[in-house]
Amino acid sequence: MTEPVFTGVGVALVTLFDDAQQVDHDGTGKLAAQLGELGATAIVVAGTTGEADALDDDERLALFASVRAAVPDTVVVGGTGASSAHQAARLTAAARDTGVDAVIARTPRGLADPTGYYRAVADSAGDVPVLAYHFPAVAPPGIPLETLPSLPVAGCKDSTSDPTRLLATLEVYDGPLYTGSSAMLLLTGLLGGAGAILALANVEPERCVEAFAGDAAAQRAIAAAHVASEQDFPRGVKHLVARRFGTSEVVRMG
């Protein structure tokens, strides 16, 4: 089995913007540091929750570097997924110079077989581990189960919220598996998943950590926040983060 990039609960970090919709690097880095202090073992930057589709490559790279500087002792994973293998590979190659510990690349929409896509990303990543990202609700059809074991990746994030898919994946894939759903924390932890990468960890990192560790009461306690975080995404998440940490609610998407 591949050594996990990290274990435990990682946060799918929101990207903070000022009133002019410009990236707030200091604010985003400060939030990342707070979440690390509250138990997050990894910070995933410029993923779906971080509104990656609304960021250009230079903004993503600058975010990787600023978050890396803000959390020098926490694993940082950069989101380098793109609409084509060429774009994702180019961004991944550039990300190597920002200090990220790994990259994660969501599959492009409409790509039936992502093998070539992940091969291009892995070739560009060099020694930097690559995580696959299965999220068919946003980027259909996602990663076919039969394809996953042969991909040149160091683990996979599964954001389906589907326990059947989780069970099936654990049966055929021996690499590190991360759930992308805060509703699946308890089950993923009990079944031996490596960890989680969560939007809700921006808001409830402590309870997310407890739920993944096997605390059923903590899993139930985050139910309302889980539902709220998925409403009018990503506004719902940013509203909850602002309520707890006093951060900006400005979005570029939605």
SS3 at position 152: coil
Q: Which residues of the chain have pLDDT under 50?
A: none
pLDDT attached to residue 1: 64
**Tens-place pLDDT, residues 78-93:** 999 999 999 999 999 9
If 0-12 CB within 10 Å is exposed, 13-18 middle and 19+ buried, where does residue 171 land? exposed
pLDDT for 60: 98
Closest CA to 63 of 48, 78, 41, 80: 78
| pLDDT for 98 | 98
User: Nearest 5°: phi and psi at 5?
Assistant: -60, -40
Nearest to 120 by CA among 87, 83, 157, 155: 87
DSSP 138: T
- Model pLDDT, residue 146: 97
| Two tokens, residue 186 | 């308890």
Domains of the chain: 8-245 (3.20.20.70)
**pLDDT given at position 2:** 78
Chain centroid to Cα 225, Å, comes to 18
